[in-house]
Homo-oligomer: A and B are copies of this chain.
């Protein structure tokens, strides 16, 4: 298995509503299905794809029981400055998300906050001075200006 992820699917109650939330955050759908059989939205991200799909269908497809609630996976969106953390959290609040924790300095020397989307999926929004968010959106572990390269 190569060291990579192709697709993250977020199970949601209503694909239309979830799509509108991410569109309000600035995303644009790159494809999907919307007919009597199924409703899925796809978003192309750098290197991988994000999908929104009915949580009941995703649970069945994933061969798991769904008791509801959070399941031990959290996504993070890294930005290029602490101010941008606060701006994204404000954008999420305006789009109908919930602020799980406001922006604040972290024990690991960065700055982060967290929003929860309308389907309960948490997103940490973080500025980590030791990581690099490249111009094309890729995030890498090393500091771009450090001796180890970008």
Contact = CB atoms under 8 A, between A and B. Distances in A.
B9 A73 contact: yes
B1 A46 contact: no
Nearest to A108: B33
Contacts of A9: 73-76
A119 B73 CA distance: 11
Q: Give the oligomeric copy count.
A: 2
A73 B6 contact: no
Instruction: Point out which of A10, A28, A116, A137 has the most chain B C-beta atoms below 10 A from its C-beta.
Output: A137
B63 A116 contact: yes
Contacts of A28: 3
A74 B7 CA distance: 8
A145 B85 CA distance: 39
Interface in A34-61: 42-50, 55, 58-59, 61
Contact of A46 (B26, B47, B124): B47
Interface of A: 1-12, 25-28, 30-31, 42-50, 55, 58-59, 61-78, 88, 91-92, 100-101, 114, 116, 119-122, 124, 126, 131, 133, 137-141
